[in-house]
Structure 1
Amino acid sequence: MFRLGADLTVYLHREPIDFRAGINSLAVLVQEVMELDPFAPAVFAFAIAVATG
């Protein structure tokens, strides 16, 4: 659990992603695409890709 405080850092990845990839793929995305530490004391937010059809 984490506390929402004034010093909380939130990172937003705006490009939609497919959540079926799982947590490991999200960690790789944070590390390689966002160039951040996935274990940092921060919140990483992602947009979900919506299937149409």
Structure 2
Amino acid sequence: MLIRNITADHIYLACGHTDMRKSINGLASLVKDHFKKNPFQPTLFLFCGRRKDRIKGL
């Protein structure tokens, strides 16, 4: 799904690969533990899969 109006203060791209089987709760946990950020702020976090052909955003 393409979202046209994104109002994010910051955009973070996670380096390396992320397990794409993680749900939104798993990605939020990664944001809290790895980035030490609040996942409920107006911030966009992007995660890339191992094959680098998929991206998940939170």
User: Which TM-score tier does this pair reach, normalised by the shorter chain?
Assistant: 0.7 to 0.9
**Richer in strand (by share):** 1
Percent of aligned positions that are identical: 31
Query: Which runs of 5 or more structure 1 residues have no equivalent in the other structure?
Result: none
The alpha-carbon deviation at position 2 of structure 1 amounts to: 7.2
Q: How many residues matched?
A: 49
The two structures have a TM-score, normalised by structure 1, of: 0.73
Larger radius of gyration: 1
Q: Which runs of 5+ in 2 are unaligned?
A: 52-58
Report the TM-score when normalising by structure 2.
0.68
Deviation at 1:36, TM superposition (A): 0.6
Pairwise CA RMSD of aligned residues? 2.1
